[in-house]
C-alpha cells in the first residue's frame, strides 16, 4: 500500500490554527504554570471553544474526527509553538484514553451523553487503571466492583491519574470477578461527577509535566449504574485498556515532536546571540554538530510517528511499530533535552530558560504510557514469533 504523508487542507488549517494559538496563548503561560504546578482552566475553555478538545471525536458528537495523523500534527504544532508540555499531556490524555475509549467501546446512549461535553471541553476526561501496587502489571489491580441490583459498587484507590484532580468523567478499570486471575476478571466503567463515592486523593507534586495535574482517585462505595459498563464485563483490560495503546503511544508523541522543534529553534537563536572568544558560539563546530544531531533526532522521530499514525488511520496492525517507537522516542527526547541544556551552558540550568523545563518534562517519555522496558519486551516478543 502506498504511504501518502502529504498534509490535507484540513491538516494545514489545524496546524496553523494550533501553532498560532500556542505561541499567543499557551507559550506565555508555560513558565508560570510549571512553577505553580497549575492547570489553566481559562486556557482549557479557550481550547474547547476552538474545537481542540474534540479532535478525535466524530462530528456527530461535536468533534472533528481528525484521525491519528491529523491529531498528531495538531499536538506537534502546539509543541512547536512553545506550549507547556504538561498542558499538552492533559489535553492528549483527555482525547485518547478518555473520549476515544468511550467512542470506541460505548453504546450509542453513552456516546450521546458524554462525547458532546468532552468535545466542547465542558467536561475533562481521565482514565483510571494504575494503582499503588499495580503499574506495569496492570492485571494485578485490586479495585473491586460488586454488582448490587442495577448498580455496581466500586471500592479501591487508583494512582498516578493524569487529570485526576480536575476530571469530570473517568474510564475506570475494576475487578468484577475475583475468582479469575489476571486481566480476565476486570471490567471498564464510565464514572462521572454525578455519582457519589469517588474523589481525587492526594495531588502529586511532580518533577516535570507540572501543569498536568496528577493525583490518586479514591472510590469508597461509589455507585455506578449498570448501564455505565463500558464494553462488556470482563473486557476492561484485554479490551478497553489495551485496545488504545497504539493510539496512546502515537498521539501523545505529538507534543514531544513539536517540543523538540521548539528546542531547536531556541538553541539556534541562543547560539547565534551568545558570544564567547569574540564570536557567536554558533560558529564553533562543536555547537554546529549538536544542532545537526538535534535536527536529525527530530526528522527520525517525525517519520516514525507519522508512519504509525498512517497505519492506524488505515486500520493496519502496528503494535510492533508503536512499541519500538515508544522507547526509541524516549531516547531521542532525552538526548535533545540534554544537548539543548548543554548548548545553553550555565544558563540552561536556569528556570528562566525553557530548555530547563523540557529537561524535566521529558523524563516521563520513558515511563508514562508503558515503560521503555515493557515496550522493549513487547517488541522483542513480536520479533521472535
Cite the active site residues. Answer: 248
CA angle 363, 368, 374 (to 5 degrees): 105
| Full DSSP string of 52-94 | GGGTTS-GGGT----HHHHHHHHHHHHHHTT--HHHHHHHHHI
CB neighbours of residue 204 within 10 Å? 15
Specify whether the backbone of 294 is left (phi greater than 0), alpha (psi in -120 to 50) or beta: alpha
Assess contact for 212 and 165: CB atoms under 8 A.
no
Q: What would the DSSP string read from start to end of 286-343?
A: HHHHHHHHHHHHHHHHHHHHHHHHHHHHTT---HHHHHHHHHHHHHHHHHHHHHHHHH
Amino acid at each position: 500500500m502506498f504511504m501518502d504523508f502529504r498534509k490535507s487542507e484540513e491538516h494545514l488549517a489545524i496546524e496553523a490554527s494550533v501553532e498560532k494559538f500556542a505561541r499567543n496563548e499557551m507559550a506565555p503561560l508555560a513558565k508560570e504554570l510549571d512553577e505553580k504546578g497549575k492547570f489553566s482552566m481559562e486556557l482549557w475553555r479557550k481550547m474547547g471553544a476552538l474545537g481542540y478538545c474534540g479532535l478525535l471525536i466524530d462530528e456527530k458528537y461535536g468533534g472533528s474526527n481528525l484521525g491519528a495523523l491529523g491529531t498528531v500534527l495538531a499536538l506537534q504544532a502546539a509543541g512547536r509553538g512553545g506550549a507547556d508540555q504538561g498542558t499538552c499531556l492533559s489535553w492528549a490524555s483527555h482525547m485518547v484514553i478518555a473520549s476515544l475509549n468511550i467512542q470506541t467501546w460505548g453504546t450509542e446512549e453513552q456516546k450521546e451523553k458524554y462525547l458532546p461535553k468532552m468535545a466542547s471541553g465542558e467536561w475533562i476526561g481521565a482514565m483510571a487503571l494504575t494503582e499503588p501496587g499495580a503499574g506495569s502489571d496492570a492485571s494485578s489491580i485490586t479495585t473491586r466492583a460488586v454488582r448490587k441490583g442495577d448498580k455496581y459498587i466500586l471500592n479501591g484507590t487508583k494512582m498516578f491519574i493524569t487529570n485526576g484532580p480536575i476530571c469530570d468523567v473517568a474510564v475506570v478499570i475494576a475487578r468484577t470477578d475475583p475468582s479469575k486471575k489476571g486481566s480476565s476478571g476486570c471490567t471498564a466503567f464510565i464514572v462521572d461527577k454525578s455519582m457519589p463515592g469517588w474523589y481525587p486523593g492526594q495531588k502529586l507534586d511532580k518533577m516535570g509535566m507540572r501543569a498536568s495535574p496528577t493525583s490518586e482517585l479514591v472510590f469508597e462505595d461509589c455507585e455506578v449504574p449498570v448501564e455505565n459498563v463500558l464494553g462488556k464485563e470482563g473486557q476492561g483490560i484485554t479490551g478497553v485498556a489495551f485496545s488504545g495503546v497504539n493510539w496512546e503511544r502515537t498521539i501523545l508523541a505529538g507534543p514531544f515532536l513539536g517540543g523538540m522543534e521548539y528546542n531547536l529553534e531556541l538553541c539556534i537563536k541562543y547560539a547565534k546571540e551568545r558570544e564567547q572568544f569574540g564570536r557567536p558560539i554558533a560558529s564553533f563546530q562543536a555547537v554546529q554538530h549538536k544542532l545537526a544531531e538535534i535536527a536529525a533526532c527530530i526528522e527520525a522521530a517525525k517519520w516514525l510517528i507519522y508512519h504509525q499514525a498512517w497505519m492506524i488511520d488505515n486500520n493496519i496492525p502496528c503494535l510492533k511499530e508503536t512499541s519500538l517507537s515508544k522507547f526509541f522516542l524516549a531516547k531521542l527526547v532525552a538526548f535533545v533535552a540534554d544537548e539543548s541544556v548543554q548548548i545553553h551552558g550555565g544558563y540552561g540550568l536556569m528556570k528562566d530558560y525553557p530548555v530547563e523545563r523540557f529537561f524535566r518534562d521529558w523524563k516521563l517519555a520513558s515511563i508514562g504510557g508503558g515503560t521503555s522496558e515493557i515496550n522493549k519486551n513487547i517488541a522483542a516478543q513480536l520479533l521472535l514469533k
